Structure 1
Amino acid sequence: MPRLDDVTRGRILHGGDWNPEQWPEETWQEDVRLMREAGVNSVTLGVFSWSRIEPRPGERDFGWLDRLMDLAHDHGIGVVLATPTASPPPWMGRLHPDTLPADADGHTELWGGRQHFSHSSATYRRLAAAITEDLAARYAGHPALTLWHINNEYCTYDHGDEAAARFRTWLRHRHGTLDALNTAWGTAFWSQTYGDWAEVLPPRRTHYLKNPAQLLDFRRFTSDMLLECFTAERDIVRRHTPHVPVTTNVMPLWSGLDAWRWAEEQDVVSVDLYPDPDDPFGAQHGALVQDMTRSQARGPWMLMEQAAGAVNWRPVNRPKPRGLNRLWSLQAVARGADAVCSFQWRQSRQGAEKFHSGMLGHAGPDGRAHQEVRRIGADLARIAPHVAGRTVTAEAAVLHDWHAWWASDQEGGPSRAAGHAEILTAWHRALWRAHVTTDVAHPEHDLTGYRMAVVPRLHLLTDRAADNLVAYVRGGGTLVCGFGTGVVDEDDRVRPGGMDERLRALFGIRTLHEWWPLEPGATVETAGGLRGTLWSEELEPDGTADETLAYRGGELDGLPAVLRKGRAWYVSTLPEPDDLRNLLGRVAAGAGVRPVLDGLPDEVEAVRRGGLLFLLHHGRDEVAVDVPGTHRDLLTGATVTDRVTLGRYGVAVLAP
């Protein structure tokens, strides 16, 4: 199977989406000249070009793309060639309305935007396969082709009739019989029992709350249908070019796709990443997505999209301050990226994204954003021979599962404020602030290589996952588990006692009497001074715990907030940020997990990749970092002894 290493060959890919069909052809030569000056060695072509390639049904216009492929190759720039199937041309929706998706209210989503296709439409799939076939046949032997990019940011839901038929087929495969489906969905509740498969629909608008098990299966179905679309196009291009890796770009920490399963079907795992430059923890959000993507890739990965400056889709779109794009680009490399690319090369003058920044913005080559892009290109060229292909090693893992996210994302639970992504972020942030490098792992994965595993919250826990966690602790691993874990099984059925019995025995809990969610802003306190937010639980211990931290005051006074039984910890609230950092730091130290570097200032992030130490300063004021020994900073060529000084958004990449 081809890999990213086959493309990079000791380089770090630097570039982004190039959409020259939006511009007069006389700009193309200027583009490639400026790209070379900026160190761009890779561009993505054709992502949204279906109407240009197939202006009318069955016609093909490849001449412009031929010239672009040749132009890129002549200037030493590799091409990530995209199938254009994310945005069908208007004629398709007009002539084939069955290709258009429907929302939960039954309204058809029309052309005029993008992603206006039904993943279940046989017509859409046929036409997508046809254009992919012709694209792959034409460019299979082109020397510029380095990577295939299938579709773009798969994110389509469809509640229409053709999707309903495929949903029923999917459910037959999963559950077998109507009786089994009724049991799995608990349809005895509210007289929902189905007597004929024709009665089973996607979760369309209802008078009141929808069946949560139906919603869960629909999320699974949607991920699987989109994956079928991806693999169909992937198999076509693989047949023509078995030596060329295939990828697609997923959105960061997005709930719609089971990215664990998707990663298994890709040669290269890619992600788009747009932290908010006004978010004081934007860097931590980036680190979480990077750790997750690296873990899915099990090695180097591809940052397919980031912004050189501002985006256009937030209520207020602030640009990246001077130096921040460089800092976040090098953060991605520190956490395993062998490709740092942006959307897009030249900022659009028309269309919905004309205010989304480009590597070459409206200010032109002299603009600050473009000058920073040039500096990034030079930085990547300096460090690439020393870092490309190297790995990031972590002794701790944060456990995450999309099915658990889907099951917890429902209206009828104890608290709508307890969002899966927010809790996952809070726990990862605590470890990030404690300077502990983490992987992200599926709860059924082999965890034996980690000294410590943390479960922020896994509302749904399969039997296999529960057995895995128990075996991990019995094998000597340290487990820290957050509230609301193991509540339901894979059919969203509440487990007896409100928590999986294996977990209760593991943590020393006899009974979980009640969940006690907290109002926004409310807190609970413990005898040890820890302050909790968002959630609490009425737990009755079984007397086997080695250590407890009790609630103080209120209805839960004297009951355990935190329990430790051997190497297994249970935390029944969400500690405030400093308390969670201190708690996880203490547990990590006891497990033998050390910070990357001792004595780091709070605003400095440290990551080791291969034999290199990346120091990333997320503050604006100059700071000194102790680095015992003598090192060479690969970015400057300077020798550093015992201490390095980092300025505003400064970075050092230290080699021994």
Structure 2
Amino acid sequence: MTENAPTGLAGLAFGGDYNPEQWPEPVWHEDVRLMREAGVTMVTVGVFSWSLLEPAPRRYEFGWLDRLLDLLHENGIRADLGTPTAAPPAWFYRAHPDALPVTADGVRYEFGSRGAICHGNPHYREAAAAITTQLATRYAGHPALALWHVHNEYGVPVAACYCDTCAARFRRWLIARHGDVAGVNAAWGTEFWSQQYADLDEINPPRTAPTVGNPAQQLDYRRFADATMRENFRMERDILHRLAPGIPVTTNFMTALSQCDSVDYWAWGREVDLVTNDHYLITDGRRTHVNLAMAADLARSVAGGAPWLLLEHSTSGVNWQPRNPAKAPGQMARNSLAHVARGSEGAMFFQWRQSRRGAEKFHSAMVPHAGTDSRIWREAVELGAALDALAPVRGARTVADAAMVWDWHSWWAQSLEWRPSQDHDARERADAFYEVLYDRHLTVDFAHPEADLSAYPLVVVPALYLATAAAGRNLKGYVEGGGTLVVSYFSGIVDEHDAVHWGPYPGVLRDVLGLTVEEFAPLLEGERVRLAGPDGAALTGDVWTEIVVPRGAEAVWTYADGLAAGRPAVTRHRLGEGTAWYVSTRLGPRALNTVLARAAADARVAPRAELPRDVEVVRRTGESGAYLFAINHTADDAKVPLEAPGTELLTGERAASRLPVPAGAVRVVRLDD
């Protein structure tokens, strides 16, 4: 068992968001009957129920929730009980219109959606604390309670408010961070453009200005907004810990880099008792299962490598993209079990029964509008049985082969205006590096740039524009100790205040990479450069080039044309017991794989050429044994080599040297000791 798993669950979590307030009570009894048929073990309730729980200020109506939780308990179903603080009711905004957030343009949002919250507003904080206290007091000892679910998807859709209340809070936050006004001036470089402040009250949020604002101010405001939301979470968490001890507290993250860019999950991961995550496929033509794996690996990494929980995903199509295709037959289970392979302690959905009204009525659900005589329902029942069979996996940890350095503060800083090229995208580079590692069948941990990396033979740094001096020392120490490092362009450039490090680029990474960069030479749209390499291995780059000067590094590929013609393009630097590679242009998948193949050879990370593309193999190990997950995303049957014989948990069959994995299927082998 994991230390902070939902209480009372003997196996993996299976179920979804349940909104019984949308249905007459007789439907509830039908729901729990169907939940038992499907093997549901836990449902999330109350997340958006504030207006029902508190229909008027300090007038609470818990009768319906009492009956619901009792009904769940009678049927052996656990509850992930939400605090409804992501959607305050209309009466609250009527009394406190100043709790609605204000945009950088000075526009105050209106009531009528969700998440319209000024997190710095004292009236909101007071009301959130009050409803949380009432819930904790009433339900602390309820036998159905397994987990507390605070708020919902912090940062979505509004993370930052620019009102006068937040301005005052921002000033106090700045003093706590920088000491005094002089410290703020120093951190922000306010001598540029005559922006120096003489008094704290002169400082405001980075509201809309005639042209580009101070980038250090903008970066600090993102940090402040994130810290303000986290402060509100801690407030609710501490109430729950005090009044309902022993019940873990979480809030649902969204680690997919395409879905939430306003939250520093390294910081948030330290605050929750259990990391939970929401993931929805972005159907933009790419291989959606690769982004799924990436989000799951990042969720596990935020959890410090411990098991976590997939708290939301979809049974089929979502409702908020321009085009919302249905999942193919078998894809629901395949997606769900891919998350389990990468550390999730179950598979939960949004939602249980598909809504008839409201903005999400076309979002798929476990019980769709078509009812139980439907493919989705039959697949949900099959998935429940599969998760029941995988109960022994609970508590086992996913084994990683390599690490990727990622930092939200660096992403925030790089995303600000007036960078050398708008075509360089930190998230795109992270996706690109991850996809190559995925196609090399390597399981990836993500790591903060100052984290201990010594356990990994190979570490990649796809985009670390902002790198502290401590991060530079850490990466250098990693290589000196025997690690293999691969760094992509435009990394190591600025410090935590977005100030360029003294001396030539790449700043704090000069020593570990054994080079300097005289000048960035971004390419125009559509331009490409050729790279000449060893044994005639030619590569092509786009978006970016640099004038690289080796200072101990050797050139492995050189630019064959362009402004940097004849200069090093990809370098290798032996340092201590390890090796650091540098890639100074944007490479496509095949070219990037060529470079990473050489780096992997330095790291002695063996290729897994026997595994077909899009057949992923992931291991989880724990006290109960070692488990090999084989997930076939292709239309062809595959065979996966086994290091030891074992028992396939989904079919009960014995597996020997090669495991058959049918097209579109998942197999999980408990390896013999």
TM-score computed with the length of structure 1 as normaliser: 0.97
Moved more, 445-454 or 533-542: 533-542
Contact 1:606–1:614, Cα closer than 8 Å, also in 2: yes
Distance 1:520 1:325, change over 3 A: farther
Moved more, 460-469 or 194-203: 194-203
Match of 2:388 among 372, 381, 385: 381
Match of 1:614 among 629, 647, 650: 629
The yes-or-no answer on 1:539 pairing with 2:548 is yes
SS at match of 1:496: coil
Q: Shift of the alpha carbon at 1:307? A: 0.5
SS at match of 1:606: strand
SS at match of 2:315: coil
In 1, the alpha carbon distance for the partners of 2:295 and 2:523 equals 28
**Which residue of structure 1 lines up, in the alignment, with residue 238 of structure 2?**
235
The yes-or-no answer on 1:553 pairing with 2:588 is no
In 2, the alpha carbon distance for the partners of 1:224 and 1:82 equals 21
**Which residue of structure 1 lines up, in the alignment, with residue 501 of structure 2?**
495
Contact 2:476–2:511, Cα closer than 8 Å, also in 1: no
- Could you list the runs of 4 or more consecutive aligned residues of structure 1 that deviate by over 4 angstroms after TM superposition? none
SS at match of 1:644: strand
**Which residue of structure 1 lines up, in the alignment, with residue 467 of structure 2?**
461
Contact 1:4–1:301, Cα closer than 8 Å, also in 2: no
In 1, the alpha carbon distance for the partners of 2:216 and 2:631 equals 44
**Which residue of structure 2 lines up, in the alignment, with residue 583 of structure 1?**
595
Provide the identity percentage: 47
In 2, the alpha carbon distance for the partners of 1:547 and 1:655 equals 46
Which amino acid letter does the alignment assign opposite residue 314 of structure 1? Q
* Cα shift readout 1:58-90 (whole Å, capped 9, x = no counterpart): 110000000010001000000000000000001
Contact 2:506–2:517, Cα closer than 8 Å, also in 1: no
SS at match of 1:195: coil
In 1, the alpha carbon distance for the partners of 2:644 and 2:298 equals 32
In 2, the alpha carbon distance for the partners of 1:3 and 1:83 equals 23
In 2, the alpha carbon distance for the partners of 1:273 and 1:521 equals 33
Which amino acid letter does the alignment assign opposite residue 530 of structure 1? L
Distance 1:629 1:300, change over 3 A: closer
SS at match of 1:14: strand
**Which residue of structure 2 lines up, in the alignment, with residue 309 of structure 1?**
316
Moved more, 172-181 or 484-493: 172-181
**Which residue of structure 2 lines up, in the alignment, with residue 333 of structure 1?**
340
In 2, the alpha carbon distance for the partners of 1:439 and 1:398 equals 6
In 1, the alpha carbon distance for the partners of 2:452 and 2:410 equals 18
The yes-or-no answer on 1:217 pairing with 2:228 is no
Contact 1:488–1:499, Cα closer than 8 Å, also in 2: no
Contact 1:248–1:270, Cα closer than 8 Å, also in 2: yes
In 2, the alpha carbon distance for the partners of 1:310 and 1:115 equals 23
**Which residue of structure 1 lines up, in the alignment, with residue 517 of structure 2?**
512
Q: Shift of the alpha carbon at 1:589? A: 3.0
SS at match of 1:82: strand
Q: Shift of the alpha carbon at 1:523? A: 2.4
**Which residue of structure 1 lines up, in the alignment, with residue 428 of structure 2?**
422
* Cα shift readout 1:140-178 (whole Å, capped 9, x = no counterpart): 010000100000011132011101110111011111121
* Cα shift readout 1:298-343 (whole Å, capped 9, x = no counterpart): 2100111101111111001111111111101000010000021010
In 2, the alpha carbon distance for the partners of 1:119 and 1:452 equals 40
In 1, the alpha carbon distance for the partners of 2:493 and 2:520 equals 11
In 2, the alpha carbon distance for the partners of 1:654 and 1:533 equals 43
Distance 1:53 1:395, change over 3 A: same
Q: Shift of the alpha carbon at 1:8? A: 6.5
Which amino acid letter does the alignment assign opposite residue 62 of structure 1? F
Distance 1:108 1:62, change over 3 A: same
Number of residue pairs aligned between Structure 1 and Structure 2: 652
Contact 1:397–1:450, Cα closer than 8 Å, also in 2: yes
In 1, the alpha carbon distance for the partners of 2:245 and 2:173 equals 30
SS at match of 2:148: strand
SS at match of 2:66: helix
Contact 2:2–2:394, Cα closer than 8 Å, also in 1: no
Q: Shift of the alpha carbon at 1:9? A: 5.2
The yes-or-no answer on 1:74 pairing with 2:74 is yes
Moved more, 496-505 or 98-107: 496-505
Q: Shift of the alpha carbon at 1:279? A: 3.6
In 1, the alpha carbon distance for the partners of 2:371 and 2:166 equals 46
Which amino acid letter does the alignment assign opposite residue 557 of structure 1? A
* Pairwise CA RMSD: 1.6
SS at match of 1:7: coil
Contact 1:548–1:560, Cα closer than 8 Å, also in 2: yes
Q: Shift of the alpha carbon at 1:280? A: 3.4
Q: Write the mapping of 1:440-455 to structure 2, written as runs, cut at 5 A.
A: 440-455=446-461
Distance 1:172 1:557, change over 3 A: same
In 1, the alpha carbon distance for the partners of 2:586 and 2:525 equals 12
Contact 2:505–2:518, Cα closer than 8 Å, also in 1: no
**Which residue of structure 2 lines up, in the alignment, with residue 433 of structure 1?**
439
* Cα shift readout 1:628-653 (whole Å, capped 9, x = no counterpart): 65432211112233333333321111
In 1, the alpha carbon distance for the partners of 2:527 and 2:277 equals 36
Match of 1:568 among 565, 580, 588: 580
Match of 2:282 among 276, 280, 284: 276
In 1, the alpha carbon distance for the partners of 2:635 and 2:23 equals 38
**Which residue of structure 2 lines up, in the alignment, with residue 186 of structure 1?**
189
**Which residue of structure 1 lines up, in the alignment, with residue 95 of structure 2?**
95
* Cα shift readout 1:402-452 (whole Å, capped 9, x = no counterpart): 110111011210112212111111111110111111100001111111111
Which amino acid letter does the alignment assign opposite residue 152 of structure 2? N
**Which residue of structure 1 lines up, in the alignment, with residue 164 of structure 2?**
161
Which amino acid letter does the alignment assign opposite residue 566 of structure 2? G
Contact 2:545–2:584, Cα closer than 8 Å, also in 1: yes
The yes-or-no answer on 1:111 pairing with 2:111 is yes
Q: Shift of the alpha carbon at 1:483? A: 0.6
Which amino acid letter does the alignment assign opposite residue 553 of structure 2? A
Match of 1:361 among 360, 365, 368: 368
Q: Write the mapping of 1:33-52 to structure 2, written as runs, cut at 5 A.
A: 33-52=33-52
Contact 2:9–2:41, Cα closer than 8 Å, also in 1: no
Q: Shift of the alpha carbon at 1:277? A: 4.7
SS at match of 2:397: coil
* Cα shift readout 1:555-610 (whole Å, capped 9, x = no counterpart): 11110111111111111112110121232233123212235x55101121111111
Contact 2:517–2:547, Cα closer than 8 Å, also in 1: yes
Distance 1:278 1:40, change over 3 A: farther
**Which residue of structure 1 lines up, in the alignment, with residue 657 of structure 2?**
642
In 2, the alpha carbon distance for the partners of 1:473 and 1:195 equals 45
Structure 1 residues not aligned, in runs of 5+? none
Contact 2:120–2:169, Cα closer than 8 Å, also in 1: yes
TM-score computed with the length of structure 2 as normaliser: 0.94
* Cα shift readout 1:239-294 (whole Å, capped 9, x = no counterpart): 01220111000123221011001000110001110013564321111111111110
In 2, the alpha carbon distance for the partners of 1:375 and 1:521 equals 48
Match of 1:247 among 226, 239, 250: 250
Q: Shift of the alpha carbon at 1:625? A: 3.5
**Which residue of structure 2 lines up, in the alignment, with residue 602 of structure 1?**
613
In 2, the alpha carbon distance for the partners of 1:286 and 1:331 equals 8
Which amino acid letter does the alignment assign opposite residue 541 of structure 1? P
* Cα shift readout 1:506-539 (whole Å, capped 9, x = no counterpart): 2221x31211223344322211212223222111
Contact 1:269–1:293, Cα closer than 8 Å, also in 2: yes
In 2, the alpha carbon distance for the partners of 1:651 and 1:513 equals 51
* Cα shift readout 1:207-234 (whole Å, capped 9, x = no counterpart): 1112111110000001100000000000
In 1, the alpha carbon distance for the partners of 2:55 and 2:468 equals 49
Contact 2:402–2:458, Cα closer than 8 Å, also in 1: yes
In 1, the alpha carbon distance for the partners of 2:514 and 2:124 equals 54
**Which residue of structure 1 lines up, in the alignment, with residue 669 of structure 2?**
654
Contact 1:431–1:585, Cα closer than 8 Å, also in 2: no
